[in-house]
Amino acid sequence: MDLRVETAADPLPPIPVIGAESGGVAAVAEACPREFRAVLDAGRGHYGAAAIAIGDRLSRRWLGRNQNPYLPEIDALAGLAARAGGAGVHLLNMSYEWTCTTSAAPDPAGDGARLLRTLDWPLHGLGRNVVVARMKGAAGTYDNVTWPGFSGIATASAPGRFAAAINQPPMRKWTSSCWFDWGVNRMRLWRRRALPPVHLLRHVFDTCRTFDEAKRALSETPIAMPAFFTLAGTRADEACVIERTEDAATLRKGPASIANHWIARDEPGRYRGFDSPGRYAQMEAGRERAGTAAPFDWVTPPILNATTRLAVVAHPASGRLCVQGWEHDGPATAVHEGTA
């Protein structure tokens, strides 16, 4: 693959592109020590030292009890962090608090389907410290839009196969208390033995060779907590959103969008993020015109908000991938454009 980074008269820094085909996520952290440390610092600033210490131990115990296949590399990342005087790797790999707006639909250019995606998270610094990691599994190579120290996948594209992203559903509502509901949901998670959704998506990119294989795995594999998966393939009719509970799935064929509320299922919950219905409606209305003037001309309010940290456009048929990091005050990186 020939990777190109736009370097026009833009003072914003480029997004690092890391070749991690053989070294995996540890190679990403070793290649980007500044970004690795910045992400850990952001986590400690957000959660606090005490929560990090307790959360690390509980997360490590849960992953070990479930024989999580990615625990060895998370342990290795924790070792790298400890040598740098940091902590929080196990907790941050179990954090699942972002909100997103995503769509999969035929590419207006006529080349397969495309994925449009923003990710929102209140952690400062995630936008300026995003990287593109070239990774390789049994099914082939793929570009993981990620952060040093993170073993799962939130957004990625495998040229010639598919692109996919994960969104978080509403927090399940059991009582009138948000905090009590949070505790109930965490207890339900503690009892589960299945993969976290971000690890299932990693497994799919590592092992699935086609859109149909990926769709089947994302629909049928038990997961530790509910999730929304958006999938775009190499043909115009290969696009869907999969709304998942732990053991059930509802598939919506593309063109389709998702934010952070259920569309096809009736699941009582508490909305996450800023104006989920508004973000969904804007994506549905504007996806056909998105990218006509510039790669991210569609990233406008309410899709764009104070917690937006990442914007991605992926074309798996052509291998084209556009990425930009954002912070609360606007773009934090130059636009990265890679082409296969």
Q: What length does the chain have?
A: 340
CA 219-225-229 angle, to 5 degrees, is: 40
Quick check: 49 pLDDT over 90?
Answer: no
Binning pLDDT at 50, 70 and 90, where does residue 190 land?
A: confident
- For residues 142-158, give the mean pLDDT: 97
Return the domain boundaries, the chain: 2-24+97-339
What one-character DSSP code corresponds to residue 170?
Answer: P
- For residues 281-288, give the mean pLDDT: 96
Which has the higher per-residue pLDDT, 110 or 148?
148
Binning pLDDT at 50, 70 and 90, where does residue 214 land?
A: very high
**What per-residue confidence (pLDDT) applies to 340?**
65
Q: Which of 83, 96, 81 has the alpha carbon at shortest distance from 29?
A: 81
Which spans in 140-238 are helix H?
178-191, 197-207, 211-220
Q: Which of 187, 167, 164, 173 has the alpha carbon at shortest distance from 266?
A: 173
**What per-residue confidence (pLDDT) applies to 8?**
44
Binning pLDDT at 50, 70 and 90, where does residue 4 land?
A: very low
Quick check: 187 pLDDT over 70?
Answer: yes
Helix-helix angle 24-31:33-47, to 10 degrees: 90
What is the tens place of the pLDDT at every residue in 83-103? 876 788 998 898 876 789 999
8 A C-beta contact, residue 188 and residue 198: no
**What per-residue confidence (pLDDT) applies to 10?**
57
- Which tokens is 211 given? 């859109």
- Which tokens is 101 given? 């707006």
CA 121-123-128 angle, to 5 degrees, is: 95
CA distance 90 to 113: 35
What is the tens place of the pLDDT at every residue in 22-38? 999 999 999 999 999 99
Which has the higher per-residue pLDDT, 87 or 242?
242
Comparing 26-35, 150-159, 263-272, which segment has the lowest mean pLDDT? Answer: 263-272
8 A C-beta contact, residue 78 and residue 261: no
Which has the higher per-residue pLDDT, 42 or 307?
307
**What per-residue confidence (pLDDT) applies to 96?**
74
- Which tokens is 230 given? 């958006």
- Residue 325's identity, in one-letter code, is G
pLDDT > 70 in the chain, percent: 95
Residue by residue, DSSP assigns 96-136 as ---EEEEEEEE-TTSSSEEEEEEEE-S-TTTTTT-EEEEEE
Quick check: 182 pLDDT over 80?
Answer: no
- Supply the CATH classification number for the domain 2-24+97-339: 3.60.60.10
Mean residue pLDDT across the chain? 91
Inter-CA distances, 211 with 82, 159, 194, 308, Å: 39, 11, 23, 28
- For residues 218-227, give the mean pLDDT: 96
Whether this prediction's pTM lies above 0.85 is answered by yes
